[in-house]
Homo-oligomer: A and B are copies of this chain.
Amino acid sequence: MSTLIEEARDYFLGLQARIVAQLEAVDGRVFATDRWDRPEGGGGISRLVEDGGLFERGGCNFSHVTGQQLPPSASAHRPELAGRRWEAMGVSLVLHPRNPYVPTVHMNVRMFMTFAAPGSMELDAGWCGGGMDLTPYYGFEHDARHFHQTCKRALDPFGEQWHPRFKRWCDEYFYLKHREEARGVGGIFYDDLNQPDLEGAFALTRAVGDAFSEAYLPIVDRRRSIDYSERERDFQAYRRGRYVEFNLVYDRGTLFGLQSRGRTESILMSLPPLVKWRYDWHPEPGSPEAALYSLIQPRAWV
């Protein structure tokens, strides 16, 4: 079973390297590298950019963390696994472009494993999770459709049931209940996947990771040269407040990371560089800003 862990580690590290190389090419700036260790076991490599040519702030992080005893909170829905030795690894990415016409994007692929006995390498359970979602400010239906279609193309070889299921899961997960608002135009989200088996779930997860660049980079290419003014920057900063609210109030990965004493600065790389809050603000009906609120109403994009 250690072969699968090594294979997964190689895959995730390779994915991070490939994506960062592509992002550096579109940004024009070399991403910084931060390696960190976790006192309880494992560590990670954060790759990040601030004040880049395209990205105002962004990161693509690899982490592989291990523990001797699965905490009860992590195994609430699998009580039989409490106390097991565990390993978790994956790649997590959030990019906040400066140009308000280029959407913010998030992608995450991960694998979680528990082991039969304290010193054992014998896997007794494992599952994968992941997804990606797009958060435009001044959005385009064409881009949303392209993003969703790319997700669907990545998943369909594994069974046509997955895309509708993971698309709905994404709409439900990236939802701000206190605003009754979606975070963006969605994408896909899934967790606890071990079907048909862990190897199969990992194969599907690789397909999701591999599809990221094709899902996002053509959108960057199409929108990065659109001119913008203070008005668009202002609306972008306001809408980024929703991103902060979602990540700090609802996002399980963020809250689990902060509560489990993960590496705060790597976890909070997802937060935007410049954010504004304004009381009870609503866009003018018919304005480009109002159009966003229609665009993010969940709908069938493919």
- A interface residues with partner B (beta carbon < 8 Å): 32, 34, 48, 50, 57, 59, 177-179, 237, 241, 244-245, 248-249, 255, 258-259, 261, 264-265, 267-269, 271-280
Contact = CB atoms under 8 A, between A and B. Distances in A.
Contact of A244 (B177, B178, B244): B244
B277 A272 contact: yes
Given A248-B244, A249-B248, A280 B265 contact: yes
Copies of this chain in the oligomer: 2
A101 B261 CA distance: 32
A2 to B, nearest CB: 32
A31 to B, nearest CB: 11
Given A179-B264, A249-B255, A249-B258, A279 B57 contact: yes
A241 B278 contact: no
A50 B237 CA distance: 16
Given A57-B278, A244-B275, A269-B279, 14 more contacts: A50-B278, A50-B279, A178-B264, A178-B267, A179-B264, A237-B274, A244-B248, A248-B248, A265-B279, A272-B277, A273-B277, A273-B278, A274-B275, A275-B275
6 contacts: A177-B259, A178-B261, A241-B271, A244-B244, A273-B278, A274-B275
Contacts of A278: 50, 57, 273
Nearest to A58: B279
A274 B259 CA distance: 26
A268 B248 CA distance: 13
A279 B48 contact: yes
A81 B258 CA distance: 33
